[in-house]
A and B are shown apart, each in its own frame.
Chain A
Amino acid sequence: MATYSTNEFRGGMKILLDGDPYSIIENEFVKPGKGQAFNRVKVRNLKNGRVLEKTFKSGETVEAADVIDTEMQYIYNDGDFWYFMDPNTYEQVGASKAAVEGAVKYLKEQDTCVVTLWNGEPLLVTPPNFVELLVTQCDPGVRGDTAQGATKPATVETGATVRVPLFIEEGDVLKIDTRTGEYISRANK
């Protein structure tokens, strides 16, 4: 695998530290006028999400981590793994419960997600920014019921719960922002 020197460090770069894949968040060059130069770097562990700071001597090299983000289609899950397919090669990978944790309530079959692969193994699944999901259950909204800010809970086809305006009925399709979990609009066809 390739190596990077500290003077090539950029935000977003994927490197290997102590066997784990990390993403560089921040890189600061520190040097007292006539002395040794250092790079003080903030990194995120891509396996557990933890952020830590590390100091490198300037000029040190680190191994690049074989981490790539690739678009894959969600096919199905068997309760243990969630399976995704590369639309170009038809290759399938199975993502663990931990990898899909943040995305599972928005996963709809055939949807294209971004799968972060490390050495070919799924680390993290990111759903598309917006998804359209069918409302499978909600109570009819009573006009004038503004006690909860004119919204009510609705269950969608993935099993997730979203707060929606009172006029939404079962059978409606909702457009949801997966980054915030918020209802954006109705998307009935």
Chain B
Amino acid sequence: MLQRIRAFFMARGVLEVETPLLSRAGNTDPSITSLEVRDGGWLHTSPEFPMKRLLAAGSGDIYQICKVFRGGESGRFHNPEFTLLEWYRLGFDDCRLADEVVALISEVAARRFDVVSVSYRSLFLDALGIDPLRTGVDELQALARSRGIAPDGDMPRDDWLDLLLSHIVTPSFPTDRLTVVTDYPASQAALARLNADGETAARFEIYWGAVELANGYFELTDPVEQRRRVAAEQSARRQRGLPPIRADERFLQAIDHGLPDCAGVALGLDRLLMKVMGAEHIGEVIAFDAGRA
């Protein structure tokens, strides 16, 4: 699999890079648990920040295959330590990059796929009959209850959308089809730039069947907006009683300096291998998974 991936990028002139797994800064995203190292620093949850520093310094198109670490994530498709393929293409937007991800998956799997591209909004309208950009928390909660999937208690609006997406919508995707979900709600933009409508973001995800394989963005380059989002994440961490995490200043300064227009994507290689080989559990494609490491 790795040979095919390297050949794919070699043919396209994309440079392979290696960035540190250990960083002085952690990830401020409140949904992700960064693993702290006792001597000081954090294991990275993705190579995004140092790779963007390289792009700002003029590296050109780059890719990386590396281990990443996310605390508390264990299950059939999750291992706290897993392998990510992440790459960035200058001058691409989210659509063009999504096409390239499909091409890479096709080459690794050595086959053709049925591919369907659908916006997050259309997906919810078709599958559940509700507009995810307009529907209020109460209605989302009532819908979840009526389907027997509502946990007890309250959740922020985006968490209700995540619940409906992961429990009802994505499990309904045909098992052998690639689904590209585009234009996520602005509230779930992460590091993607917003679309002109202001309500959606240039963020996409690619599923093989019901399995989430890749998450990509037409990258945010506006330094003011980037700092605002990091501050919002830190505030969300405080609100949820999560330990504070210092922002990656070197990354933010690189954005201040100027990130060239580009699109980037992260793809889970363990899951890709699972799908290609028909494995039922991520432990089948990892030498020693978390329970046996």
Does B associate with A?
yes
**A180 at interface, CB cutoff 8 A:** no
CB pair A38 B151 closer than 8 Å: yes
A53 CB, nearest partner CB in chain B, Å: 7
CB pair A53 B148 closer than 8 Å: yes
From known contacts A32-B212, A53-B148, infer whether A38 and B166 are also in contact, taking CB-CB under 8 Å. Answer: yes
Which residue in chain B gives the minimum CB-CB distance to A53?
B148
Which residue in chain A gives the minimum CB-CB distance to B76?
A28
CB pair B31 A34 closer than 8 Å: yes
Complex Cα spacing A25 to B151, Å: 18
**B248 at interface, CB cutoff 8 A:** no
CB pair B190 A34 closer than 8 Å: yes
CB pair A55 B151 closer than 8 Å: yes
Complex Cα spacing A35 to B149, Å: 16
The number of inter-chain residue pairs (CB within 8 angstroms) is 73
Q: How many residues of B sit at the interface, in one of the four size bands?
A: 20 to 34
B244 CB, nearest partner CB in chain A, Å: 18
B206 CB, nearest partner CB in chain A, Å: 11
Complex Cα spacing A40 to B166, Å: 11
CB pair A35 B72 closer than 8 Å: no
Complex Cα spacing A7 to B149, Å: 19
B residues 143-168 with Cβ under 8 Å of A?
A: 148-153, 155, 158-159, 161-163, 165-167
**A57 at interface, CB cutoff 8 A:** yes
CB pair A32 B165 closer than 8 Å: yes
**A56 at interface, CB cutoff 8 A:** yes
**B78 at interface, CB cutoff 8 A:** yes
Which residue in chain B gives the minimum CB-CB distance to A60?
B151
Give the interface of B toward A (CB within 8 A): 29, 31-32, 72-78, 148-153, 155, 158-159, 161-163, 165-167, 170, 188, 190, 205, 212, 215
Query: Can you name 20 extra interface pairs (CB under 8 A) apart from A29-B77, A32-B170?
Result: A7-B72, A29-B74, A29-B78, A30-B167, A31-B78, A32-B162, A33-B212, A34-B188, A34-B190, A34-B215, A35-B31, A36-B31, A37-B31, A38-B166, A40-B149, A55-B149, A55-B167, A56-B151, A58-B72, A60-B153
